[in-house]
Amino acid sequence: EGPITVTDEPDNITECSGSGVTFQATIANAGLGTLYYQWQESTDNGTTWNDVTDGGVYSGATTTALNISDIAGKNGYRYRLQYYTDNCVSDATNYAILTVEGPITIAVNGQPQSLTVCSAETANFDVELDTGIIGNVTYQWQIKASGGSTWTNLSNNSVFNGVTSAHLSVLSTGLNGTCYRVLIQTSTCASIASDSACLTVEGPISFTDHPDDITQCSGESVIFVGSAGVVVGNTGTISYQWEYSSDGLSWNPIPEVAPYSGVTNDTLTISDVTGLSNIWRYRLTARTAECNPVKSNPARLTVEGPLTVTSHPSDWSTCSDKEAFFAAKVSNPGQGVVNYQWQVNDGTGWVNINNDSVYNGSKTDTLSISPVVDKGGYMYKLLAWTGTCDTVETDPATLSVEGPLEFTDEPDSVIVCAGGPASFTVAVANNGVGTVSYQWQRSTNGGATWSNLTNTGVFSGVTTNTLSISNTTGLYNNRFRCRARTANCDWESSIYATLFVEGPITIDVQPVDATVCSNIGHQFTSTISNPGAGVLSLQWQVSSNSGSTWANVSNGAIGNGGVYQGATTDDLNISLVESLNGYQYRLVISTSQCNDTTNTVTLTVNDACTTGTCDLDLDGTINDLDADDDNDQLTDYWEDWMTVHNTLDGWYY
């Protein structure tokens, strides 16, 4: 087989994006054997190669002609044909490069836009293509006459410049209504046309009527009038803007706010000339959308008067036992004495104020009020006038009266057990406005000095009407009080409340278990102390059922012939313990607020007759050493023998 030779290598191809191409190669086999073909593609400049398979945009992948139906996105890809027979080793042609031009697309917002310019100005039309377009892009601008339908290529001259670029400059004179577009192409991509953009040319402006000087009284209205037009034969809608100047040198546009109206037409109305001094000047500017403003001659406004409130009275907040002041300022740039009159509105209407025991300065620009009690919510305003100028009045100001503050619920003294919580509460009535602020204080020296509390340690709620103490240990006999105020009222103090702390109850000596012979008594002993306030209450309790239930011990007979004594003391005396075996005892301790209980102790009772360590006959000798335990003048041995034989032999006596 073979040899195999390439007689025609694949050629480089340049084509427009979206088109189809075919790469071809010719392979000769001088010998036997079937030739096999496989086209390959490289997307990384020939570093790596991948077999092409039929499908999608590819066909003929295993023939000598590779067809690509759409080359979009494949710029710079390389292609080669691999060939072989069954016995001849695979080889490949030279690679061919695919160059993809275009696609030519105009960027979003990249179309040329219609323009309006003033006569003799230059109009600039631009087109912007999307980035990444491959190939040499060429431009050709075209013009269509006003009202025409034919597009004609432009050439560079004194009117048009940049006709074969993305930027076209047009000298606008005489070209009103003309339209423009650009044709764009590459060597392989057909030309596309941009949107058309039309040129509107506005003409020069001249005034046909200038505004006149005006003299007017303060508080009255005036009207300034002017008129301008566009030169015949030119286009453009005239826009107006009135301007003012206080010195005739610097000018500012007038906003459409009182007292001005019509500031953007040929007639300016000033509804109230108050405050406009006689040196103010006004002029009218006229322009079109693209032509610069043209200005009229200035007109002077001469104003007689007026009164102006330069400072209004402010709302006043104070405490019920203090004064209030309201002040205002009224300027008079002209002549005339200013007269003043304060008025009050208590909710029923405005009335004049006269000086009396409460009000002073009722006919000046400053009003004083003392006392202010019962005048909360009243409103005040100042009227001012001259002999010829109408009355002006200030904005009303409101008098807010705080207080008086009154403690309607004083804190109560508290008795608690040491370590427990406590709280003190007050209620404060505010007969006026304002937010009540609170501050709890403590005295540790009987009220000689007081200090503010903070929300630290055991204290919380120190700036509320309820003070909470989480642990009262160590606070015995401390005094507490609450202070209340508003923003303008001084501190008021409640009466003090005392914290009485009982306990803590301390069991210095616990009672202990006891084992006792049945024929004698016993004493359970404890030692109790109370370092705080409160009277200790002691009560011994007894349980005959291993602590399931308990009963208070009472002084007196027990029922076994014995007696309880000291049932409400530290020490419980039991005169005879017979029949009390297994009984449990404890001491319950309390004050009015504190409670505690000693350890539970058990009483074990041994039989005085059979227990060797007991002394049955109480003669001072224990049974184990006493020959006659029961002191009946019979030896214990004989009594034991008789007892046994009575039981075994049925003897009876």
Share of the chain above pLDDT 70, in %: 94
For the cut 80, the answer to whether the pLDDT of residue 82 exceeds it is yes
On whether the CB atoms of residues 91 and 83 are closer than 8 A, the answer is yes
Q: Residue ranges per domain, the chain? A: 4-101, 115-202, 205-304, 308-402, 405-502, 506-606
pLDDT in tens, 467-486: 999 999 999 999 999 999 99
pLDDT at 65: 97
Residue 436: CA count within 13 A, CB half-sphere = 21
Q: How confident is the model at residue 643 (pLDDT cuts 50, 70, 90)?
A: very low
pLDDT in tens, 591-603: 999 999 999 999 9
CATH node for 405-502:
2.60.40.10
Residue 158: CA count within 13 A, CB half-sphere = 2
Residue 22: CA count within 13 A, CB half-sphere = 8
Burial class, 492, CB count within 10 angstroms (exposed 0-12 / middle 13-18 / buried 19+):
middle
Lowest mean pLDDT among 47-51, 444-448, 530-534: 530-534
For the cut 60, the answer to whether the pLDDT of residue 19 exceeds it is yes
Q: Which fold has domain 4-101?
A: Immunoglobulin-like (2.60.40)
Q: Which fold has domain 308-402?
A: Immunoglobulin-like (2.60.40)
Q: Which 8-state DSSP code applies to residue 204?
A: -
Angle 139-145-151 (CA atoms, 0-180°, nearest 5)? 40
pLDDT at 636: 52
pLDDT in tens, 539-549: 999 999 999 99
How many angstroms separate the Cα of 282 from the Cα of each of 219, 244, 279?
Answer: 18, 5, 10
CATH node for 506-606:
2.60.40.10
pLDDT in tens, 351-409: 999 999 999 999 999 999 999 988 999 999 999 987 667 789 999 999 999 989 999 99
Same fold, 205-304 and 405-502: yes
Q: How confident is the model at residue 135 (pLDDT cuts 50, 70, 90)?
A: confident
ω into 421 cis (within 30 of 0): no
CATH node for 205-304:
2.60.40.10
pLDDT in tens, 107-121: 999 999 999 999 889
Three-state DSSP class for residue 530 = coil
- Give the residue among 490, 496, 317 at the shortest CA–CA distance from 404: 490
Mean of pLDDT values over 79-93: 93
pLDDT in tens, 199-225: 999 988 889 999 999 877 778 788 999
pLDDT in tens, 622-641: 878 866 665 665 555 444 44
Q: What is the mean pLDDT of the chain?
A: 91
On whether the CB atoms of residues 184 and 164 are closer than 8 A, the answer is no
Q: How confident is the model at residue 560 (pLDDT cuts 50, 70, 90)?
A: confident
- Give the residue among 491, 506, 515 at the shortest CA–CA distance from 591: 506
* C-alpha dihedral sign at 538, 544, 550, 552: negative
pLDDT in tens, 119-131: 889 999 999 999 8
Assigned CATH class of 115-202? mainly beta
pLDDT at 231: 73
